[in-house]
Amino acid sequence: MRFIFQVILTSLISYILQQFMPSWIVVFVAAIVALFVQSNPAAAFLGGFAAISLLWMCKATIIDVYTNSILSVKVAAILGMKSSIMLILLTGILGGLLGGLGAASGQHLLRIIKKDRGDFYRK
């Protein structure tokens, strides 16, 4: 349940903030959401990865459909890909890595903040 909540909340806030801010804001959004949705770092990474990957692939697909793949076919050719679908998948993987690393960073930051002062050097 936390995973689904993290994915939905991260995607929704990222989509709204990307309308007004640069695309790298997703890293900070994933970190902040991971601060509030407490889980382990691996689950936080997967939640951030899934959220931003799905968001960016959906946005890229919608743009690709509306523009009749004019630009994406040319960019895919420059990058040595055979189709624009590969470019959309690459976009999703790149966005997913950014979101996942941001969420894992947020979860690690939460663990640092929550540790007691005497417990800091103990495992």
Domain ranges of the chain: 2-114
Distance, in Å, from the CA atom of 72 to the CA atom of 68, rounded to the nearest integer, reads 9
Terminal CA-CA length for the chain: 28
Q: pLDDT digit string (tens) for 5-31?
A: 999 999 999 999 999 999 899 999 999
Residue 120: pLDDT band with limits 50, 70, 90: low
pTM of the model: 0.86
Dihedral sign for Cα atoms in the order 91, 92, 93, 98:
positive
Q: How many CB atoms lie within 10 A of CB 111?
A: 12
Q: How many CB atoms lie within 10 A of CB 57?
A: 18
Q: pLDDT digit string (tens) for 81-107?
A: 988 899 999 999 999 999 999 999 999
